[in-house]
Amino acid sequence: MEITIVTFDDFTDLDLFILWDLLNRVELPGWRVRFLGEAQSHTSSTGVEVKMHGPLEEANAADAVLFCSGRGSRLKMRDENFLGAFRLDESRQLIGAIDSGALLLGALGLLEGRRATTYPSADLKSLLEGMGAEVVWESFVREGNVATAAQCLAGQSLAGWVIETLAGAEYREKALRSVAPLDSLGVEL
Amino acid sequence: MEITIVTFDDFTDLDLFILWDLLNRVELPGWRVRFLGEAQSHTSSTGVEVKMHGPLEEANAADAVLFCSGRGSRLKMRDENFLGAFRLDESRQLIGAIDSGALLLGALGLLEGRRATTYPSADLKSLLEGMGAEVVWESFVREGNVATAAQCLAGQSLAGWVIETLAGAEYREKALRSVAPLDSLGVEL
C-alpha cells in the first residue's frame, strides 16, 4: 500500500505530523507512507523544513492521497502547475484533506455537490462554497472515497479512515490507542 | 519567554510536533520556542530530519525545558555527555517530559521520591522506579515545577501547563481549542 501526503510551503506542523505519525504506526509489509511536494523540501509556517520523498505526480498511482493544510494552501489552490500534476481517481483511490487542504480538493473538482468540512473560518467556507461544496461543521466528513477533516487533531479520523480501509479496523484501533492521552484507556501491566 | 524542547536521534514525531505546534500558537512579544540537541539536526524513528535551533546548554537559561520522547531516550539516559550539558533548576524553570522522555528527567535526578507518568510499558516503569520515581498511570502528573505526560496527545497537557503558567490561561485555552477536533466545540460564524 502506497500512502501519500501532499504538502507545500507554509504548511501547519501538526496537520502534517499527526497524519504522518499515525499512518507510520501500521506495521505491514509493503505499507509505505511518503511526503510529496513540488520541491525537495518544504517549510512550515513556523520554519520547520521537511524533506519530501517524491514529486506530486507520485500521488496519481497511490492508494491514498491526503492533502496537508496551512496558509500556503491559498496560493496552491490557484497554482496551475501544482494542480496540473494531479490525475486523481476516486474510483480507485482514497482522497482526503485536513483543514484548508480542502481548498485543494475543491480546486481539483472533487467537492462539487458534496458535503465537506474545514477549519472554521468564514473565508474558507465561502471559498469552498464557490467550488460547489456544502460546508458542514463536523470534525470528519466522508463522501464515498473523498473525505475532509476539521482542526489538526481530527487528523486522527482522517488517518484512521485510511488505515481502517486499507489495513483493517484492528490497525486503526491500535494506532489511535497508542497516542491517546493515557487516562482514557486504563493500563494493565 | 524562552521555551526549549530537547530532542535526540530516534525521537517520536508526534511527541515533538504536538509540543512544538501548540507552543508556537502563543503570539506574544518575546515568546520564543527552540529545538535543542547535541547535533545540528536530529532524525526521528521514521526518518524525518529536523534542524535544531541551538545546543543543549541553552536549556539551562530557559524558562521552560521539555524533553521529547522516542526510542533514542534509552541511549541518552546513559550518555554522560548528554546529561552533563544540563544544569536545570526547578526553582526558576518549568521542566517536563513526554513519554520515555521521563527517563531523562529521572537520570537528571528530578524524579526522586516523586510521582511520574510515562508511556505504559513494564520496562519503562521499572527503569523509572530504579531512578526513585513512583510511576502512576495518569495522562499528566505535575509535582511542583516538574511534570510528565503519557502518550503523544497528552502533550496537550504538557504544552498547556507551560502556556498557562508563562502566558496565562486564556492563551492555553486558545491554543488547545484551535487544534481540537471540530465536533467538540461548536462553530459560530
For A111-136, how does the pLDDT look when each residue is reduced to its tens digit (9 = 90+)?
Answer: 999 999 999 999 999 999 999 999 99
pLDDT at B184: 60
Q: From CA B177, how far away is CA A51, in angstroms rounded?
A: 29
Q: What is the pLDDT of residues B67-109, one digit of tens each?
A: 999 999 999 999 999 999 999 999 999 999 999 999 999 999 9
Could you tell me if B11 and B45 are in contact, meaning their C-beta atoms sit under 8 angstroms apart?
Answer: yes
pLDDT at B136: 95
Q: Nearest residue on chain A to B186, judged by CA atoms? A: A137
pLDDT at B188: 72
**Sign of the C-alpha dihedral, residues A133, A95, B44, A50?**
negative
pLDDT at B185: 62
* Share of residues in chain B with pLDDT > 70 (%): 98
Q: Report the candidate in A186, A179, A180 with the shortest Cα–Cα distance to residue B137.
A: A186
| B17 pLDDT more than 70 | yes
**Across B125-140, average pLDDT:** 97
Cβ–Cβ gap A140/B21 under 8 Å? no
Chain A residues whose beta carbon lies within 8 Å of the beta carbon of residue B52: none
**Across B151-174, average pLDDT:** 97
| Grid cell locating A134 | 456544502
Instruction: Give the number of A-B residue pairs with CB atoms closer than 8 Å.
Output: 119
Decide: helix, strand or coil at residue A134: strand
Q: What is the pLDDT of residues A69-108, one digit of tens each?
A: 999 999 999 999 999 999 999 999 999 999 999 999 999 9
Q: Which of the pair, A187 or A89, is modelled with greater confidence?
A: A89
| A185 pLDDT more than 90 | no
Q: Nearest residue on chain A to B177, judged by CA atoms? A: A151
| Grid cell locating A33 | 507512507
Q: What is the pLDDT of residues A26-77, one digit of tens each?
A: 999 999 999 999 999 999 999 999 999 999 999 999 999 999 999 999 999 9
Could you tell me if A65 and A94 are in contact, meaning their C-beta atoms sit under 8 angstroms apart?
Answer: yes
Q: Nearest residue on chain B to A126, judged by CA atoms? A: B189
| A186 pLDDT more than 70 | no
Q: How far is A3 from chain B (nearest CA, A)?
A: 14
Average pLDDT of chain B is 96
Q: How far is B143 from chain A (nearest CA, A)?
A: 18
- Other C-beta atoms closer than 10 Å to the C-beta of A85 total 17
Amino acid at A117: T
Give the closest of B51, B121, B183 to A139, CB-based.
B183
Q: Which of the pair, B183 or B155, is modelled with greater confidence?
A: B155
State the pLDDT confidence band at A187, using cuts at 50, 70 and 90. Answer: confident
User: Which of A21, A23, A51 to mutate: most B Cβ within 10 Å?
Assistant: A21
Could you tell me if B117 and B149 are in contact, meaning their C-beta atoms sit under 8 angstroms apart?
Answer: yes
pLDDT at A188: 72
Cβ–Cβ gap A181/B13 under 8 Å? no
Buried b / exposed e across A11-35, counting CB within 10 Å, b at 16+? bbbbbbbbbbbbbbbbeeeebbbbb
| B170 pLDDT more than 70 | yes
The pTM (predicted TM-score) of the whole model is 0.96
Q: What is the pLDDT of residues A137-157, one digit of tens each?
A: 999 999 999 999 999 999 999
- Looking at chain A, how many residues does it have? 189
**Across B26-32, average pLDDT:** 97
